[in-house]
Structure 1
Amino acid sequence: MFRKLRNKFLLLNMVTISVMMLLAFACIYFIMYQNVSRDIDMELHREADIGRKSGNMGGPPKSGNPIAEPGKGDRQPMARSISFMLITDSQGTIKSTRSSFALAEDNYQEAAKAALSGNDQQGKFKLEDTSWAYQVQKLPDGFAISFLDVTAQQAFLTNLIYAFLLVAFVMLFIIFFTSRYFANRSIEPVQEAFDKQKQFIADASHELKTPLAVINTNVDVLLAHSDDTIQNQSKWLTFIKSESERMAKLTNDLLYLAQIDQANTGVMMAPFDASDAVEQVVLTMEAVIFERDLHLSYEIEPGLKIRGSLEQFKQVVMILLDNAMKYTSPNGSVEIEMRKRHQHMELSVTNSGEAISEEHLARIFDRFYRTDPSRTRSQGGYGLGLAIAKAIVDQHKGRIYAKNKKDHKVAFVVELPLHS
């Protein structure tokens, strides 16, 4: 599916760029063609004006202008960027020639015939590998035809087309691989999000399957003893209630994650004292920590303010403390440290216990991810707490990560920008 999507994106990109290049090259060629045609017309008019001024229209040319009468000049190769004029009668017979070079009589005859063969006053033809442009002027007793060698101009336009084709081929070759690279880069986040969504649905279904199976089994037991009293069947009812509460918590967490994913929907951002918020959460959890025979130490720098949701920030602190308590070794310690670091507030929650391997550190904030699935299930977790914490921190333009420290300690660090 993603390969087809990439190919469609690549094809669309190539077609779009090809059309744009074609239009650009066509516009450039059209402008150059118009400029060349205008220059040719100006040169032909100039040649005709020179002919008129030299008195060559129907009479002998003025002195200083070499003349080549038909049949009297030796045959010479046609030079580039040259011009000449022919005076003919109404039947097309050459009466006189004005030229700065000598051509064979048959060349003049072919040129006159080509110019007068149509009804156009100007045009182009090819004679002995040389391209000529001409302009015909009507005289009382014949025609005055100006000729201009445009081989160089025609070669320029032809070479321009070849240059465009070469540039287009090279550019399309480069653009193809560049577009393919960026198409792959563009598809990667979509594919990753799709894979995560599939995994998320599979994990959610798996997590819901267990409590549903427990509930269904206990209901079957109750139905099998329908004549018994509720008091005697209270154990099965307790199991059903417990699993129902677990399902309700899972459902609420999933809905909460979905709400967070909807780009700050319903979140009120306001400045608040993060130091006071952390201290409130610590005081709330202090009794629970001591009941579990854990040592708690904290150092909170006062007056650190951030902008965001106070309740969501407290929820992040609560998640990190709860996670630390779950994974702290017996008679271990939980350390909380909060301080200013440059333009950020840094909150660190450290617990003693087993270190987290590097492969787990990169994925520990993924939804439903557990480093020890069996242990986490026994403690009632679904692997969503750290995912919720990361979603909240990301929403606040912050950063959260885990790292191993010395003496078998694991630290979870939250960095959030301070409110100026």
Structure 2
Amino acid sequence: MAQNIFGSSSRKLTLLYSIVMIIFLVVLIFAMHKTMEWSITSEQARELMDTASNVAEAQEYFNQHPEIVLDDTIAYKSTNDRLFFYVFDNEGRLLNFARASFRIEPFILDTIAQEKVEPGGVTVFSKPGSENTRKARIMLTAQQVRDDEGHATQTVYVGKDVTAMYNGMEKATYALAFLGAIALVIATIVGHILSGKAMIPLRQAYEKQRQFAADASHELRTPLAVVMASAELLQNDPSIQSPFLRQVIDDVRDEVKKMTKLVSDLLVVARSDNKALKLKPQKFNLSALIEQTARLMQPLAEQKKIDLQAENLPKVEIQADEQKIRQLVLILVDNAVKYTPDGGRVS
């Protein structure tokens, strides 16, 4: 019973610890994922905004000096082939461009045509993958090109294929989740071991209390049986005529009955865990123990006019738990006297 209680408590502590660790790891991985995403997008957004400004300035200069041939390498300063730009006038005609990959260009032009890109902002668009292609992510920004009077005449769209970066971020997140799962398993095992160790002093204290209850109940049974026998003997003594004394004897007998019931219940509770009642074997004289027990039960035997004999027994030494044997002998003699007809003989 105690093992079940402490085993269940250990499992509950382990489960609670695991739940706390799961919540902690989920929050940590989510926070790290968002931090990586913010770091990547903020850097890429800054790069796109700078590129868009450069392209817009070059386009304004080209508009003011149409006789100059625009060198794309000046406007498009990055050597990263994932960067691209498109310049459209207000009527939707393409004026200049540094093309994106043919795989994603139709999706980019469709996104621009639907006016999903707000000037001055940076937005990440996802292109669903097919059976042969994987999902793509495109980061786009827009900036307007103005004439001498400040009117917006053209729009520059600058973007970058950030699919590889997001894929790398997802792989890093999966790796963190995998490592977190391993850490959770290790933490659960360690938590179970620690919770088991934490239960050891509690289990020891619990078993000591049960042992004390068992010892106390055993020790109390003998004097209570003697007191009960004496009270019943006095109750049947015709020489006691005082009503007050007879009431006192009745009260004593009733209280001893209550105490006997409590001691029996206490012994049942103490015996509910076998490990709580540990044997303490030692060598002792069984004959002397039987004679002593018979003397204690003599008043109860005399009350029923039973001849109780346990004298001059041959000396017998045994190796056993003396306290447990004493209780067994007491129960045996008590039952023999209690269930033997009046005037009988017990030896």
1:113 aligned residue = 110
- Kept after mapping to 1: 8 A contact 2:214/2:277: no
C-alpha change, 1:37 and 1:57, in structure 2 (3 Å) is farther
Residue 131 (structure 1) aligned with residue 137 (structure 2): yes
C-alpha change, 1:103 and 1:206, in structure 2 (3 Å) is closer
Residue 32 (structure 1) aligned with residue 32 (structure 2): no
Q: Distance in 2 between matches of 1:97 and 1:199?
A: 90
Residue 152 (structure 1) aligned with residue 158 (structure 2): no
2:272 aligned residue = none
The alpha-carbon deviation at position 182 of structure 1 amounts to 1.4
Q: Distance in 2 between matches of 1:216 and 1:31?
A: 80
- The AA in structure 1 aligned to 2:109 is A
**What is the alpha-carbon root mean square deviation over aligned residues?**
3.8
Q: Distance in 2 between matches of 1:126 and 1:228?
A: 106
- Kept after mapping to 1: 8 A contact 2:54/2:75: no
The alpha-carbon deviation at position 173 of structure 1 amounts to 1.3
The alpha-carbon deviation at position 171 of structure 1 amounts to 1.0
1:287 aligned residue = none
C-alpha change, 1:222 and 1:57, in structure 2 (3 Å) is farther
Aligned counterpart in structure 1 of residue 71 of structure 2, from 26, 51, 63: 63
Q: Distance in 2 between matches of 1:191 and 1:63?
A: 84
The alpha-carbon deviation at position 146 of structure 1 amounts to 0.4
Residue 142 (structure 1) aligned with residue 154 (structure 2): yes
The alpha-carbon deviation at position 170 of structure 1 amounts to 0.7
Q: Distance in 2 between matches of 1:163 and 1:84?
A: 31
Residue 48 (structure 1) aligned with residue 52 (structure 2): yes
C-alpha change, 1:370 and 1:66, in structure 2 (3 Å) is closer
1:97 aligned residue = 97
- Kept after mapping to 1: 8 A contact 2:117/2:140: no
| Larger RCO: 1 or 2 (CA < 8 Å, sep 6+) | 2
Aligned counterpart in structure 1 of residue 16 of structure 2, from 12, 15, 20: 12
Higher helix share: 2
Identity within the alignment, %: 18
Q: Distance in 2 between matches of 1:203 and 1:197?
A: 10
Q: Distance in 1 between matches of 2:175 and 2:113?
A: 35
TM-score scaled by structure 1?
A: 0.47
| 1:141 alignment partner, SS class | strand
Aligned counterpart in structure 1 of residue 213 of structure 2, from 185, 194, 201: 201
C-alpha change, 1:194 and 1:373, in structure 2 (3 Å) is farther
C-alpha change, 1:91 and 1:169, in structure 2 (3 Å) is farther
Q: Distance in 2 between matches of 1:148 and 1:126?
A: 12
Aligned counterpart in structure 2 of residue 177 of structure 1, from 186, 189, 213: 189
- Kept after mapping to 2: 8 A contact 1:136/1:145: yes
Gaps of 5+ in 1: 69-78, 230-239, 241-365, 379-420
C-alpha change, 1:103 and 1:221, in structure 2 (3 Å) is closer
The alpha-carbon deviation at position 8 of structure 1 amounts to 1.5
Q: Distance in 2 between matches of 1:188 and 1:82?
A: 63
- The AA in structure 1 aligned to 2:174 is Y
- The AA in structure 2 aligned to 1:6 is S
- The AA in structure 1 aligned to 2:111 is A
- Kept after mapping to 2: 8 A contact 1:135/1:146: yes
The alpha-carbon deviation at position 192 of structure 1 amounts to 2.4
Q: Distance in 2 between matches of 1:21 and 1:107?
A: 36
Q: Distance in 2 between matches of 1:65 and 1:45?
A: 17
- The AA in structure 2 aligned to 1:65 is T
Q: Distance in 2 between matches of 1:116 and 1:152?
A: 25
- For structure 1, which segment, 33-42 or 44-53, has the greater mean C-alpha deviation from structure 2 after superposition? 44-53
Q: Distance in 1 between matches of 2:49 and 2:154?
A: 18
Superimposed CA distance per residue, residues 19-71 of structure 1 (whole angstroms, 9 cap, x where no aligned partner): 11222222222222211111011110111122134346764763362899xxx
TM-score scaled by structure 2?
A: 0.56
Q: Distance in 1 between matches of 2:72 and 2:113?
A: 29
- The AA in structure 1 aligned to 2:214 is A
1:309 aligned residue = none
Larger Rg: 2
Equivalent residues in 2 for 1:317-356, closer than 5 Å: none
